[in-house]
Chains A and B, each alone.
Chain A
């Protein structure tokens, strides 16, 4: 089983609609979580951190459920420019071994007119 798993999609979303997807993680020692956005053939860029109490950044809402070991991302009022692959990342500090950041396989979102 992969340490961080995501539904690869694609999620086909009508413009203006809401879409949500999850990411599950198996390492209960993971301390922090992030959502990155990756456009085709480009490097990933940080979309938002995920806080324990949940957090919102404009049209984007992230949630963390430690009991069930998943994080979620919800996009409201989808724009065509939201079409991308969304990668979730779990971070674990391993002492002398340093920081381990594990990426999920990504969820592809296609927003259509």
Chain B
């Protein structure tokens, strides 16, 4: 079955360390997204990519970086510059043509805790 895989499910890091969250999809979707969710809050867009080798900043890109070297993969690096990195991170994808007729597909999420 096709889907989006995020790993790991739980991640613990010390303050000051960079950490990379994995997101892989085998849905052949063109667009991929990274969202951050804080407790009791909605999803906020960090970065998104419409095609390979291209990506755009979302609403809260500071302290994060991404790459899109392959269609299937869209890793997110949380750098030491991110002031409050502890959160639930969700990766999602959309097929070509957009969300008009197809929903966002989400991965299971990575819960990052930085101490």
Contacts and interface: CB of A to CB of B under 8 A. Distances in A.
Interface of A: 4, 6, 8, 31-32, 34, 36, 41-46, 49, 87, 89, 91, 93, 97-106
Closest 3 CB pairs of A and B: A105-B42, A46-B103, A43-B106
Given A43-B109, A97-B56, A34 B103 contact: yes
B42 A99 contact: no
B41 A93 contact: no
Interface residues of B, number: 25
A22 B24 CA distance: 34
Interface in B6-40: 31, 33, 35, 40
Q: Choose among A34, A97, A101 the residue with the greatest number of B CB atoms under 10 Å from its CB.
A: A101
Given A43-B106, A97-B56, A98-B48, A32 B100 contact: yes
Interface of B: 31, 33, 35, 40-45, 48, 50, 56, 88, 90, 94, 98-100, 103-104, 106-109, 111
Nearest to A90: B99
Contact of B104 (A4, A101, A105): A101
Contact of A93 (B33, B35, B56, B98): B98
